[in-house]
Amino acid sequence: MTAYADFYRRSIDDRDGFWAEEAKAIEWNTQPQQVCDYSNPPFARWFVGGTTNLCHNAVDRHLKDRADQAALIAVSTETNTEQVYTFTQLHAEVQRMAASLQELGVQKGDRVLIYMPMIAEAAFAMLACVRIGAIHTVVFGGFAAGALASRIEDASPKVIVSSDGGSRGGKVVEYKPLLDDAISQSSHKPSAVLLADRKLAVMNIVAGRDHLWGALREKHLNAVVPCEWLDSTDPSYTLYTSGTTGKPKGVQRDTGGYAVALAASMKHIYCGNPGETYFSTSDIGWVVGHSYIIYGPLIAGMATIMYEGLPTRPDGGIWWSLVEKYKVTVMFSAPTAVRVLKKQDPALLSKYDLSSLRALFLAGEPLDEPTAQWINEGLDKPIIDNYWQTETGWPILGIANGVEKKLSRFGSPGVAMYGYNVKLLDENSGDELTGADQKGVVAIEGPLPPGCMQTIWQDDARFVKTYWQSIPGKMVYSTFDWGVRDKDGYFFILGRTDDVINVAGHRLGTREIEESISSHPNISEVAVVGIADALKGQVAVAFAVVKDASGLVDAAAHAKLEAEVMKVVDNTIGAVGRPARVRFVTVLPKTRSGKLLRRAIQAVCEGRDVGDLTTMDDPAALQQIRDILS
């Protein structure tokens, strides 16, 4: 067996021995008594009896060896600011934030919702929460009031941390009015709101509820707030993600298992060393931002770059200039970002000294071969695809170069990562597909390894039903992705089995978009599908049935209604959910039992064969869509 094959086998066959070894990479206040308690499947409890703290492992433990080294590098090409925080400075800021949250009443187990742009204060807030045992819920700053309100409702935060605004492409995006709107829509009200004032917009301060970070920070300048020793299985955070139903799911993560999983991945997969710099271009609102902007790099003792701005401003070389300036060794981005850069001057790729950079990791959506090839040749660096989900927190499929050097294969995110007992299953029978090149659902046999979701926040039943009972006859975790595996164990991901779409690496539920569109007074019914797009991977397209079509007399009337519908989505979900097109029809294709045939609509839009339509109620419905498209 090769070194990796052996390593992988051990992680499955001697699960507890393997992870007991990995657990030594983090600092515990009390050593775990039991590696994995899987007595109540599918609920896995990792490192039972151990106590630790994520903030201790990300910040405090490094004060001994690297107090004056960079920890957080906050760069904004929107406000033209750059600030480097050493571990000592980060430690001080986090304690100021922790003391401020405590003053606002936050205690262990309370939820704190963070709705912020990519600024250092967002990192302080996340680290401050886990320091005191509060559970953070970061909501992507691009989400609008409706999406934010449903997350406030579900997480019931005691405090919300936010800001006057962010900026995108030189345009200020005000956060405070959206936040106020979301709080008024939610039946749960936070007792306090803590606001970072960047002086980008004037804030309407609600007396008694709203507090300014600047003032509280001054008050707690010398704060000493020790880390709370948490049980390994205590939740560290929840992060909402989309699924088949309209209601987003709060993915709940533990403390000790997550710390161990990230430390292991930094060593075996990303190969980042203490004292080096990591640059992930994601956003803290997504899982990549949690694992590989904040916790992973810091736990590894690396400096991490937080970047606010576009990849193309002031020009398409900005990211590479940061690699040169901060001697970035490991970089992480998404295929869409590379496709955006591909439209820029290729000379920008060779303008800077990139000798520090060892590899560029890409994840979040399928990496097409031309994009991989272009960036590989342009940078002359290994491009490493990796496949995972909000639910898992770290790669399911990838290449573990820290264990054994292997090359990526174009089009494949790699082989099963250690700890994941990955199977391909037949969708209908649940039978395992062991042969090469067979298409099946990518599934994982329990227990999920450390770092993966514990449950859905406040909804164990939904966790079991959604993830573990979707494949007939087996209790196995479904990723809801189609995949095939070649004879060498390399997987290829073929898209989602459910109604989730992936737009520019952003995971969206088509049902959420449909619910938003249905709130327009003149829409009675709508189907949203994801269709292939050369730049964004997929875009959302909506087919809507209007209640009163009498006004739809010409193209201008169609365009007006289309713009109105898009505006509704902008205001409820945010521009990330806005469909690229909204088309109006008189009927939608459905089965005789009334189920929307989204896959058939998608196939028509992408010019593919629609397959078996014997259960379709009214074939004219699909013909209408064909006619519109032609």
Can you give the binding site for ligand PRX, defined by CB under 6 A?
Answer: 241, 286-288, 363-366, 385-390, 413, 479, 481, 493, 496, 502, 507
Q: How far is the CB of 384 from ligand PRX (least distance, A)?
A: 10
- Give the span between the Cα atoms of 592 and 615, in whole angstroms: 6
Query: Least CB distance from residue 251 to ligand PRX, whole Å?
Result: 8
Nearer to ligand PRX, 20 or 340 (CB): 340
| Shortest Å, Cβ 240 to ligand PRX | 10
* Residue 617 backbone class (left: φ over 0; alpha: ψ -120 to 50; beta: rest): alpha
How far are the Cα atoms of 65, 123, 278, 298, 301 from residue 68, in angstroms, in the given order? 9, 18, 17, 14, 12
Judged by beta carbon, residue 61 or residue 485, the one nearer ligand PRX is 485
Q: How far is the CB of 444 from ligand PRX (least distance, A)?
A: 12
**In sequence order, what DSSP letters do the residues of 414-471 get, joined into one string?**
BEEPTT-EEEEE-TTT--B--STT--EEEEEESSPPTTS--EETT-HHHHIIIIISSS
User: CB-wise, 85 or 332, nearer to ligand PRX?
Assistant: 332
Query: What amino acid occupies position 162?
Result: S
Minimum distance from residue 253 beta carbon to ligand PRX (Å): 13
In the complex, least distance from residue 271 CB atom to ligand PRX, rounded to whole angstroms: 18
Judged by beta carbon, residue 198 or residue 247, the one nearer ligand PRX is 247
Q: 269 and 401 in contact (C-beta within 8 Å)?
A: yes
- The Cβ of residue 242 has, within 10 Å, a number of other Cβ atoms equal to 24
Burial of 205 (0-12, 13-18, 19+ CB in 10 A): middle
Min separation Cβ 539 and ligand PRX, Å: 15
Residue whose beta carbon is closest to ligand PRX: 390
Backbone angles phi, psi at 125, to 5 degrees: -65, -45
Residue with smaller CB distance to ligand PRX, 92 or 493: 493
Output 477 or 543, the one with its CB closest to ligand PRX: 477
As beta bridge partners, residue 73 has 84, 305
Closest to ligand PRX by CB, 76 or 371: 371
Q: Name the residue with tokens 């770059």.
A: 305
Shortest Å distance, C-beta 242 to ligand PRX = 8
Smallest distance from the beta carbon of 288 to ligand PRX, in angstroms?
5
Residues 6 or more apart whose CB falls under 8 angstroms from that of 176 comprise: 162, 163, 164, 165, 195, 201, 203, 204
- Nearest approach, Cβ of residue 289 and ligand PRX (Å): 10
In degrees and rounded to multiples of 5, residue 383 shows phi and psi of -110, 120
Residue (496 or 520) nearer to ligand PRX, CB: 496
Of 20, 52, 24, 21, the closest CA to residue 34 belongs to: 20
Q: Which pair of tokens denotes residue 243? A: 């699924």
Q: Which is nearer to ligand PRX, 95 or 389 (CB)?
A: 389
β-bridge pairing 230-231 and 171-174: unpaired
Radius of gyration of the chain (CA): 24
Chain length of the chain: 630
Which residue, 232 or 371, is less far from ligand PRX as judged by CB?
371
- Residue 199 identity: K
